[in-house]
Structure 1
Amino acid sequence: MIVWRPGTGRSREFEETALVHLDALYRSALRFTRNRAEAEDVLQETFLKAFRSFHRFNPGTSCRAWLFTILRNTFLNRVRDARWEVLEKDADAWEGAAESATAGPSAGANPEEEFFQTVLHGDVDRALKALPLVFREAVVLVDLEGLSYKEVAQVLGCPIGTVMSRLARGRGLLRRALREFAREHGYIKESE
């Protein structure tokens, strides 16, 4: 994980501006890579690149979008350069990543909360991780990280209309996957 030592000047400005987004970037890295160790490596490389090029960041623009752009490019470069495969066909591996990424139920949780935190959250996470990367990126950045369509368009380097269509397609694929889960577990009838 990243160990940061407080500093002065440039590093203090970086801390105040960029490090507030650390958790959101880690969650996204974990969802993109589907592997905790890879996510940590991508995140560390992202922050190193961001710190080194912080002098090029334009104050008044979205630091969050700038960081997500660096994160996405770092991830894609690692995939391309290292030629490691994102675990598309190994269901067991990404189920394990989903389980390790999700927190267990809290000690005081009632049975309903426990169900939502373990069963449903795990299935939503697995369905999300099964999405093709172009749709997963849009869903993660808009629905989970709260970026605006404009910010996501900047991060992905595509028009807002493309973000909207990828998001609609990704949400549709998620809806179908989760509907199938609900049918299999008897939460909805076959006719629904």
Structure 2
Amino acid sequence: MYRLAYWLCKDQHIAEDLAQETFLKAWRFFDNLNDPNAEKSWLITILRRENARRFDRKQYDFVDIDECAIQTKTYPGSDHDMAQDWLQKQMMILKPKYREPLLLSLVAGLNHDE
């Protein structure tokens, strides 16, 4: 949940809060889960809604993706580091309606049906 939250908001502290709120809501409304096999997609739905609600409640400053690059265990300037930077930039170019399903598939491990 944290990794997906971080991809959505690009801020460590906000991502931690989103993940925590997601699990609190899931715990509070666990009785509303109709299909036990759909718990992963149910949690992701809660996370996405919590992320959307934060814009309704309070506006946060937007940060450039280059300032929040995910730390990797590679050496600066390596081919892997450059490829990751390029990939992040290309993904941010995508419209949100295309980027979000791709992130849900790659980061959260959901299949296309979920």
TM-score band by shorter chain is: 0.7 to 0.9
Tell me which of 17, 20, 23 is aligned to 1:44.
20
- Equivalent position amino acid for 1:102 in 2: Q
Cα distance in 2 between the residues matched to 1:132 and 1:36: 23
Q: How many residues matched?
A: 112
Cα distance in 2 between the residues matched to 1:46 and 1:57: 14
Q: How does 1:1-192 map to 2 (within 5 A)?
A: 25-85=1-61, 87=62, 93-98=64-69, 101-105=70-74, 114-116=78-80, 118-151=81-114
Cα distance in 2 between the residues matched to 1:140 and 1:39: 15
* CA RMSD, 1 decimal: 2.1
Cα distance in 1 between the residues matched to 2:9 and 2:93: 12
Shift of 1:52: 1.1
Cα distance in 2 between the residues matched to 1:54 and 1:67: 10
Unpaired runs of 5+ residues, structure 1, are: 1-24, 107-113, 152-192
Unpaired runs of 5+ residues, structure 2, are: none
> Runs of at least 4 residues of structure 1 off by over 3 A?
129-132
Residue 149 of structure 1 aligns to a residue in which SS?
coil
Identity rate, percent:
28
TM normalised by structure 2 equals 0.82
Cα distance in 2 between the residues matched to 1:34 and 1:129: 11
Shift of 1:59: 4.4
Higher relative contact order (CA 8 A, sep 6+): 2
TM normalised by structure 1 equals 0.52
Q: Against the structure 1 CA distance between its residues 102 and 123, is the aligned structure 2 distance closer, same or farther, given a 3 Å change threshold? A: farther
Cα distance in 2 between the residues matched to 1:81 and 1:130: 27
